[in-house]
Structures are given as C-alpha cells and as structure tokens.
Structure 1
Amino acid sequence: MKMLENKVSLAFPSVNRFCAASNNRTGFLCDDRETCVPASQVCDRVSNCRNGEDEQEKLCGDLPRSLPGYLVFHCSNPMYWVYADQRCNRMNDCGDCSDEMGSLAACPPCGSEWWSCSPVLYEYCSCIPRRLCRDGVQHCLSWSDEYICRP
C-alpha cells in the first residue's frame, strides 16, 4: 500500500503502453513493443525494459499521479493506492481489503486453489490458499479450513 502525497501531476506521453503481462495481469509495454512489465514492477528502481523506460523520471517522478491510470488501483481510503496487478490477487494490499472485496475491486470468486471463508489473518480478505487447509492452524473464523476444506 502506498500513500498519496499532495503534489501537482506531471504530464505523461500519450503512447499506449497497456499490455497483459505473463501472469495475465495489467502491465506496461516497453519501447520494443514486446516486453510487458507487470504493473508492480514499474518504478521499482529496477529497469525491466531494455531502454529503462519503466523507470524514467517522467513516469516515476510523482507516484501515482505520473503513472497512466491503468497501472493504478485506488483503495477505498483515498490516501492509499496499489499497483493494478495487486488488485484481486487474494492478498490484502490496501490494508482494508478494498483491493479484494466490494464494488471497487470487482474481483471474481475464489478459484480452485483457494478456500472461501472469513480469514483470521490480516493478509487475506475472503479466501485462503487451500495449502493452508487441515494444517492444524485456524485460518478461518469458522474453522472451516480445518474441518471442511480439502487441500
């Protein structure tokens, strides 16, 4: 979760750089028009594009305002944001689960690798990984991860 600062927005070039990264999530298209960098790896101080365009000042100088809108998800608390590929990843990145639950996130139901419940752990919102089922530790308020769920 990142906190917004009150600054003036920088202009961003109108080149369309939207792409779907290898994890089928929102990404940033490099100048070579082939490399798609996952949103959360843009402006991370590691150049993923050959020419370093994913780390340029005009893109990273005033986060999140300097980023194209498709790379940003605004949490329900207007002071916080996460990268778009962190929305619906089953992890509580916003801190209030707004990136995983509700109309803002519009996430699909838990997949087959996940168990749907109200988790006791802060890091999950509405699903836990099935690998945690029947491990002798309560992960769901209802204990369904220990008595009903099958890994």
Structure 2
Amino acid sequence: REGTCPVSLRLDAESWKHEQGLPPGAQACVTRTNRTGFLCHDRRSCIPASGVCDGIRTCTHGEDEDEALCRDAPRSLPGFLVARCGDPASWIYSDQKCDGTNHCGDCSDELSPVSACPPCGPGWWRCPPTVFKYCSCIPRSLCRDHVQHCSDWSDEYSCPGL
C-alpha cells in the first residue's frame, strides 16, 4: 500500500542509534548561551556541541566522550552536533556556526547564504575585516583602539564602540 512501510523496514530513533553504535538517548538541547548542545544522560546537563569528543569528560558519566560517539567524527556524531563548511570535506561543531569567528577558513560558517546567520549582534560592528579571523563583523571592543581592523577604517571612525 502506498505511504506505508513494511514492518521489517521500520526503525525507531533508539533502534537507529543502537544500529549506528551511538549511545542510547543522544539528544539535542539548547545551552545557556542559546547554542546547540548535547544533553547528558542525567537530563539536566546540556554541554555545548563543541564540548563533545574534545577529550574532556564533561557529562557526569562521560557519555560526551563515548567511544562509539567519537570513533569516526564527524560521521559517528549525531547530525545536530555537526555543521558543514563550504568545502564539503570540512566540518565544525554546530555551536561554532554564526558565532563571529571564521572556523571553516572560508567564512562559510559566518556568511549567508550558506550559513544563514543573523546580522551582527549588539556587541559587534559590521565591516569588511582586515583580519581573516572575522568574516563580516568584528567585536565592538576592537573599535576606536587606534588599530585598523576594518579595511574601510570604519572601526576607527564610525563605530561607536562599547
């Protein structure tokens, strides 16, 4: 019958995770800084995506460093933890996307349309940066510091600073 799937082909989320060798219950959460996170098994601790498989056991039971989860990153990581860069071979953790820093090396994690990042936040100034660490915004703390950070010098002459 159209629109149905044979029972033998149905997998619930936990079965799929088990089949992939992922720890049961790997779930997304939102961190205190409003970023994508990994929910620890205690269902209380939400660690940033970039805190998973970083060599430091952050979750009480160490599930953020689980061998099955980390053995073949990014393929072994749940999709909610990973963001692809403009170069398909490159990836970053999802909480590093749209954070103002050029993690991908080509600014694809910061510039639209690939990343769909919102405009610069209140602590940032939009300009064409001279430092490749930033893509389209610089921290306002760099404004009016007598050092050129924007190719048009707007950080020294137009930016109101903090």
Answer whether TM exceeds 0.5 for this pair: yes
CA RMSD of aligned residues (A): 1.1
Whether the aligned pair in 1 keeps the contact of 2:84 and 2:92 (CA below 8 Å) is yes
Aligned counterpart, 1:4: none
- Report the alpha carbon displacement of residue 90 of structure 1 after superposing the two structures with TM: 0.3
Cα deviation for residue 13 of structure 1 reads 4.8
What residue identity is the alignment partner of 2:128? S
Q: Deviations over 1:10-64 (max 9, x none)?
A: 5435635110012110000011001001000100110111110000011000000
Q: 1:119 aligns with which of 122, 129, 136?
A: 129
Aligned residues: 142
Query: Hey, what does 2:56 align to over in structure 1?
Result: 46
CA distance, structure 2, for counterparts of residue 11 and residue 56 of structure 1 = 10
Amino acid at match of 1:15: G
Match of 2:110 among 78, 96, 100: 100
- Indicate which of 129, 132, 155 corresponds to 1:145: 155
Distance, in Å, in 1 between the alignment partners of 2:155 and 2:111 is 20
TM score, norm. by length of structure 1: 0.90
Aligned match of 1:88: 98
Residue 21 in 1 paired to residue 31 in 2? yes
Unaligned runs of 5+ in 1: 1-9
The 5-angstrom pairing of residues 32-71 of structure 1 reads 32-71=42-81
Normalising by the residue count of structure 2, what TM-score does the alignment of the two structures yield? 0.84
Q: Which has the larger radius of gyration?
A: 2
Comparing both chains, which one has the higher relative contact order based on Cα–Cα distances under 8 Å and sequence gaps of 6 or more? 1
Q: Which runs of 4+ in 1 moved over 6 A?
A: none
Distance 1:149 1:63 in 2: 41
Change (3 A) 1:24 1:62: same
Superposition deviation, residue 119 in structure 1: 0.2
Deviates more, 1:102-111 or 1:80-89: 102-111
Determine what percentage of the aligned residue pairs are the same residue: 57
Contact 2:100-2:134 within 8 A present in 1 as well: yes
Letter in 2 for 1:70: F
